[in-house]
Chains A and B, each alone.
Chain A
Amino acid sequence: MTNAMKVRVLVRPKRGILDPQGEAVKRALPALGFSGVETVHIGRLIEMEVESADEVEGMCRRLLANPTTEEYEWEVVS
């Protein structure tokens, strides 16, 4: 691909949805001496090289995120 553009998709649990991974990390940080951590949420970063950004929205909606439990945002980074 000559004109590939780099797209970064961020997928994370919707607000209010239980995030057991985030909770576990939040509890682990003080044990290491890091204080003042109020919330931790864990999501997923997906980087793709695509010919065009036209289809990215559809990719997010149909496969990359589950709209029932997750929200997503994406950007062209280069």
Chain B
Amino acid sequence: MRIGVTVFPGSNCDRDAMHAVERAGATPVELWHADPELKGVDAVVVPGGFSYGDYLRPGAIARFAKVMGPLEEFAKSGGPVLGVCNGFQVLLEAHLLPGALLRNTGMRFVSRRARTRVEKADTPWTALYGEGEEITLPVAHNEGNYYADEGTIRELEEEGRIVLRYLDNPNGSANDIAGICNEARNVVGLMPHPERVSDPALGSEEGLRVFESVLAAAGAKV
């Protein structure tokens, strides 16, 4: 299985994501922001960082990069797409996921480990977790405070689209939301960083199953 990782000017988790993809047993493929196509990959990770310096709003400019056209088509045709941190912000700006990420309520950049609970295992990125399983993942962000209007939050709750929830909310996020998916469940956005805990050398492998899940979901060998 080949998993693409997008690279925008200012992405800084792309190498970590590629390493996690490799450890999960897939082949990482770099997708440059100016690439007009996805090079035939089977899944895409939009990694964290500060694309385009977070100018205007995080993700607002990356959302119009050339590679995003084919990525949007891929997502809409059911291809598995994962956005992590800034990648989550990009997917929101691109309207592949609903809502927005506001400034943390504490007005501080939060960089620490956060305890979370996997709420849904029926997405291609969480298939190998147990529903209700608690995992600790690093967060590192200034705008991680998930916001959507009341109707949208209700819809997310009712449709079981809140994929990951904080047990110790670090940023004021509505309903302790740490990650959501789209209606078709193939597009997932996570604020915490599973790729940063995908190697024993980093002290934990609790995030590795995110990347292994997409292989399992595709029926490939894990």
Contacts and interface: CB of A to CB of B under 8 A. Distances in A.
Chain A partners chain B: yes
Interface of A: 17-18, 20-21, 23-24, 63-64, 66, 68-69
Given A63-B56, A63-B64, A64-B56, A20 B103 contact: yes
Contact of A66 (B100, B105, B106): B100
Contacts of A69: 100, 102, 147
Contacts of B61: 63
B107 A20 contact: yes
A18 B107 contact: no
B60 interface: yes
A63 B60 contact: yes
Nearest to A21: B103
Interface in B199-215: none
B169 interface: no
B104 A66 contact: no
Nearest to B174: A18
Contacts of A66: 57, 60, 93, 100
Interface string B95-138: 00011101111110000000000000000000000000000000
Interface of B: 56-57, 60-61, 64, 92-93, 98-100, 102-107, 145, 147-149, 172
A17 B147 CA distance: 9
11 contacts: A18-B102, A18-B145, A18-B147, A18-B172, A20-B104, A20-B107, A20-B172, A21-B103, A21-B107, A63-B56, A69-B100
B86 to A, nearest CB: 15
A18 B106 CA distance: 11
B62 to A, nearest CB: 12
A68 B99 contact: yes
A24 B100 CA distance: 21
A68 B148 contact: yes
A63 B62 CA distance: 11
A33 to B, nearest CB: 22
A67 B141 CA distance: 22
Given A63-B64, A66-B100, A69-B100, 20 more contacts: A17-B147, A18-B102, A18-B145, A18-B172, A20-B102, A20-B104, A20-B106, A21-B107, A23-B107, A24-B107, A63-B56, A63-B61, A66-B93, A68-B92, A68-B98, A68-B99, A68-B147, A68-B149, A69-B102, A69-B147
A69 B101 CA distance: 9
